Amino acid sequence: MSEPSVPLPMPSPDRLAAISRLLGNAHDALGLKLGFRLWDGSRVPAHWPADGLMICLADEGVIASIVRRPRADTLIKLHVAGRIEAVNGTIFDIAAARPEGKVLRAIRGVSKLATFNVIRRFWSVDRGPRSVLDAVRHDAIDRDGKPTTNKANVAYHYDVSNAFYQLFLDPEMVYTCAYFTEDHDDIARAQRDKLDMICRKLRLKPGDRFLDIGCGWGALVCHAAQNYGVEAHGVTLAEEQLKLARDKVRRLGLEGRVTLHLKDYIQMEGQFDKIASIGMFEHVGIKNHLDYFRSVNRLLRPRGLYLHHTIARRAKKTDRAFNKMSAEYRALVRYIFPGGELDHLGMSIANLERTGFEVHDVEGWRENYQRTTYLWWKRLHERRSEAEALVGPEKTRLWLLYLAGCSMAFQRGGASINQTLVSKRTRGPSGLPFTRADLYG
């Protein structure tokens, strides 16, 4: 755990006693399966084993920060700064140790007097150093859909460092949901199977002009050109990704069959037989969705196929309820994917039909992404020291938190991911077979 970068006030025995009483009371009331380690090295409960799962609170400013701003955003900033850490376990262990049943109901058993005493004693304590996340821009200004804005948003996430992403991705550098054809943990195999499933769903064949919108490090366009004989085009706004992708194209001898474009999707021209968008749509922003689908329709030939692969949230009873961001969702688009926004499956299907597409297939891959993000987290966690050397401890903690949070969201069903296959609507037959037995045989 890193030390605070500026001196903090001298610890007070009275404040230490107050927070110890409150945490002890909360531990009993909530039936917690973890303990706490305070800044003086003491443990709560006092009998909690030294090798047991604990949450470590680095200094008094941690409590002062929570008291003055009791929000998820505060906890995220404190964790990224290394001032709240899991000891003898991981964030997955912390999540598994959460109270069973209704937490809000159980929390009523926590002493109000002990809570007030902590608030009174810590209210004026210095909160400590500012978080590096305080400098991160807010998400509200990042959804205008302009190419310059889109490029800045993409650069924030994807231009971190190719070497950083190589620490936890598969050898082909596929940064989207893998496809597990059976129960296994081989991320490289699952990503190869995913690339092949995309090509099969699109019915790629020699001579097709194929476009991958948001082509990343070039895995899909190279796979399609090598194995399906297509003329593949990829478009991206991420300059660091593009450098590695172009190196890959040269290394594989695909210069005449794969073309990579550094531009916004709305600036693409030409006509394509098949188009895929794999994990890019999340960056578009809901108010720009119709323009996005119109752009895809403009680029697609009649009866051409488009595979729409994207994360979604659950629909709510009303649009107003759906548009209300949870704390975790707001943190994701603020600190990880600026400008990003998730729709729900029904919204995507309706907008696809409004913009001239016929929907043929929808397949949910939620459990696949739960496993994918967990394996990414595990690989990054195992190479944490290397990651910290490349991008610093703060960004490493942030990415570990993001990957773990995504895995838990997919596991619990708070988020989903779907592959939707559509064609450009025309009169007459679509050209697709009556069944999809060949895809899964």
Cα separation, 418 vs 248, in Å, equals 28
- With tokens 């999809």, the residue in question is 436
CB 222 within 8 A of CB 252: yes
Give the chain's length.
441
Cα separation, 78 vs 72, in Å, equals 10
Q: State the number of CA atoms in the 13 A half-sphere of 137 facing the CB.
A: 13
CB 308 within 8 A of CB 357: no
CB 128 within 8 A of CB 61: yes
Q: Closest Cα partner for 202 from 426, 425, 440, 423?
A: 423
406 annotated active-site: yes
Element (H, E) at 263: none
**Catalytic: which of 199, 215, 222, 406?**
406
Cα separation, 204 vs 209, in Å, equals 9
Q: 362: helix, coil or strand? A: strand
Residues 6+ apart with CB under 8 A from 57: 36, 37, 38, 39, 63, 83, 84
Cα separation, 320 vs 426, in Å, equals 35
Cα separation, 78 vs 341, in Å, equals 25
- The amino acid that residue 405 corresponds to is G
Q: Which pair of structure tokens corresponds to residue 9?
A: 């006030």
Cα separation, 281 vs 256, in Å, equals 28
- The amino acid that residue 422 corresponds to is V
Strand order in the sheet with 231-236: 258-262, 231-236, 209-213, 272-278, 300-313, 415-424, 357-364
Q: 54: helix, coil or strand? A: strand
CB 194 within 8 A of CB 220: no
- Provide the 10 A C-beta neighbour count for residue 111: 15
Cα separation, 416 vs 311, in Å, equals 6
Residues with catalytic function: 406
